[in-house]
Chains A and B, each alone.
Chain A
Amino acid sequence: MAATGKKVMVTVRKAPHGSIYVQESIEVMFIFATYDMDLSVVFMDDGVLALHPGQDTKGLGIKGFMASLGALVDWEVTKVYVDRQSLKERNIAEDAIISIGKDEETDAPIRPKVLDSAEIAAMMAVQHSLVSF
């Protein structure tokens, strides 16, 4: 079993809803969080669109995953990052992205941490594995 604390990063690069990629990446996050690995998640490229608030998939007839994303911290997926450039290119304000949980003490919303591409690249360079969606 995976029990060695290795660094594993899940990257989310696809736009939500048009394909199953984002939803299944979240399934992987939830399962991997139950294993002893140093898990991190990066939303980048069109994947940042998953963090845009106010999404409702009812009209599409699909379950959607917004509730799951809002509960990442509860599932102990805590190292969650988003690429600054990808947000900027899609005109999504850094402080407008959805929260992924609440701070236990202050009840303040926790949002994915916005990082520059160079910072993300440096994190990627030290991973044992990248799982790309």
Chain B
Amino acid sequence: MKLSVLVLEGPYNHEASDSAYNFIQAALAKGHTIRGIFFYDDGVYNATKLMDPPQDERHISKRWSELGAKGIDMIVCVAAAKRRGITNEVLVPNIRISGLGQLASMIDEADRLVTFGD
């Protein structure tokens, strides 16, 4: 199945971002395809390379970037990013900034959209 994923919450504070990541890993392991991942609202904080967690903790943005390196289309909403100071300069590699129209395309071109938020 072809899936798209919408992430509405930021890293570390809420589990939504971790759940999204774990869901995607499980889906890939089962042979499903990820059409795209869209970060919206506080979800845009998932994409900043400025985060620097303790060494023995998961590095959430690095983890997302590694997923992006596999060729998964990963987009941060431009309006949500601008509000929160997330610019191209602070993005991890393999994630890009674009608009809600990209979410429309991800929905259109996937069999299912799975939303992770509060």
Partner of A32, one of B41, B80, B104, B109: B104
CB of B104 within 8 A of CB of A2, answer yes
**Known contacts A3-B108, A27-B79, A37-B108, A131 near B101 by CB under 8 Å:** no
Q: Is there an interface contact between B103 and A28, defined as CB atoms closer than 8 Å? A: yes
Does the CB pair A20–B108 fall under 8 Å? no
Q: A125 at the A/B interface (Cβ < 8 Å)?
A: no
Please judge, given known A-B contacts A1-B101, A31-B101, A35-B101, whether A129 and B117 are in contact too, CB under 8 Å.
no
Whether A19 lies near B118 (C-beta < 8 A) is yes
Chain B residues near A14: list those with CB within 8 A: 118
Shortest distance from the beta carbon of A31 to any chain B beta carbon, whole Å = 4
Residues of B12-50 contacting chain A, CB below 8 A: 40-42
Cβ of A94 to closest chain B Cβ, rounded Å: 28
B110 nearest in chain A by CB position: A129
Interface status of B115 (Cβ within 8 A of chain A): yes
Contacts A24-B80, A129-B112 given; indicate if A35 touches B104 (C-beta within 8 A).
yes
| Chain B residues with a Cβ closer than 8 Å to the other chain, count | 22
Contact of B107 (CB < 8 Å), options: A20, A27, A131, A133? A131
A128 interfacial contact with B, CB 8 Å: yes
- CB nearest to A1 among chain B residues: B105
How many chain-A residues does the 8 Å CB contact rule pick out? 23
Name B83's closest neighbour in chain A (CB-CB): A20
CA distance A4 to B6 in the complex (A): 20
| CB closest chain-A residue, reference B103 | A28
Given A4-B108, A24-B40, A24-B80, are A132 and B101 also a contact pair (CB < 8 Å)? Answer: no
Which residue in B8, B40, B108, B115 is a CB contact (below 8 Å) of A2?
A: B108
Cβ of B71 under 8 Å from chain A: no
Interface residue B85 (Cβ < 8 Å from any Cβ of A): no
Min CB distance B77 to A, Å, is 9
Contact A37 B104 (CB under 8 A): yes
B residues 64-111 near A (Cβ < 8 Å) are 79-80, 99-101, 103-105, 107-110
Known: A1-B105, A2-B108, A35-B104. A21 touches B41 (CB 8 A): yes
Interface set of A (CB-CB < 8 Å, partner B) = 1-4, 6, 8, 14, 19-21, 24, 27-28, 31-32, 35, 37, 128-133
